[in-house]
Structure 1
């Protein structure tokens, strides 16, 4: 009788667990498109280096990392990076066990293997390595949140090393390009402009679009969109840019 009772209890436990898993999957499915859209928008902005589409993570964290992104949960704790992972919202970027490799026809080429990535708040860093060592790949993966363990509460802005502005953008300054690297702000500003154009033109708008007008304004306020230039100027000064280069056309800068 005792064994029978235990079996029933276990079945009940499994049923509850299955229901919980189903609920988690449902939440993940709802959140995944928004996460994916944000990632694709950033990747579209940054561009992909040759071969990045075949870049694979040779570690065991990737599946759990994507699950965290989809569910909007913190990275850290049992099964989610380990209990040793910091989950408090500090201004530091500290990621352990980072492994990146290219998987090609001739095998795998490791860019990083069980490395520790550490950027401390308030410090400036220079990445040193031969061509193809993975410097740009690492930065792009951080900026697009596709590196398992990347702190999700921080914002990342990536400005490409080689810039060839189209004719209509040749007058843009170094400051302009740095501000544009804030992809979230750029997307919200464009959405705000599109919605306001509809409002002023008298075009028909759905209830969702009308609600979105207020939401976009609130989101822009929340990220301090009006202070974007001040923040970008402070970053450039911190990197050693003199005022004359900050306000000069970016085409005057060397590719390095």
Structure 2
């Protein structure tokens, strides 16, 4: 068990947490949610001891081991992959190092022998003889296969490092597991493996994530951070959302009834307070009015953008034809002689190899001309593109957001209209005058969405649009794309996003493609049946 008692943390005049007392018990998985800047990651750092609160304390049961998903991807560059995973159990790794030192001693003495015997006993109690095999099993489950196990961390790419650090956090059956955005940079297969691991994990898990499907799958409780407080709810994310919305609606309904009652009492008092025969009733109603209470509905710090796309015209009979398309990068065929057509009103999720999908989107959006085969857009289509890497739109741009958005118009647009588009994605007032090159990752994504909404395209192309977005923005985008009536081509690692939007799934593979007219869950069932044959 891990708990906090009256924990407070301030940065200047701002209170991030105020007298937070909360208990996380064994056998449960707690999803930490809250608006951007509410302090989700900071709270995990308080629990881990990385940040000291101004007041209060964190209490961990004696002899309980706490494990944290590390965020520094370069900290273990000089260590081998399997060794890095085993380092997740600090004491076990120390024993292994000490044993190795003692066995290598030339002047081995009786004292060393006694110490070595004690270490061997502790090593056996910790199941140390299976440590390497356990580490390798975890790595394989996360997609880091055996050819990488003896490599140094510095020789892995960023996504591979993330998986190794996740295996490190999970290794050795920790008593308390703290995970900050564990599904970031994981492919869907690895996310599924992690979900199953946590469902079978018997100890305490506290996780921050923007992946709603993941939170729904693994969480037994939701810890909601709002107004410097933490409120625990039993159930997963969807239960919390429905319950919180119901609470707000009930309070509004109660206030509506109270307002009607107030009006009725005020009218009676005004009519009969001067009437001697009714004076007693008027006085009685005056007391009722004085005692009438309204529910104080404190608005959440969460802010939901408004995201909706309206096509300038309908697509015709032909949307996109692809014939014999092949793309090779560094000798590897990412796309292998594929042919298919996109029909009107299809919302197509591209799954599988991220590099293949990114290459495909760049080709069809005219950003890459180094390929074989051909593609052709229908003459009635217009496309709007959300690239995975949007740095070219922002890095060297010192324009205000109003002028940044103006670049993508014909110039004959009123400033109030540009501010309107920015306001939809939560840049109102002075925020619309921010410089484009100082935006956070989430702010850049919201600007790109404003640009796309303004373009009135009838084909939307998205490459990982939920990266960097908070849960509120993901929900708003998800709903906006569900309501869009024309074509969407997209890739995304958010399971719920794909399941609720796509009506067709295309996977690039070494042989060509798998192409299914189905939902995402139906496609996964199909893939599982294939693998089991």
TMscore range, shorter length: 0.3 to 0.5
Determine which structure has the larger helix proportion and give its number. Answer: 1
TM-score (norm 2): 0.23
* TM-score in terms of structure 1 length: 0.44
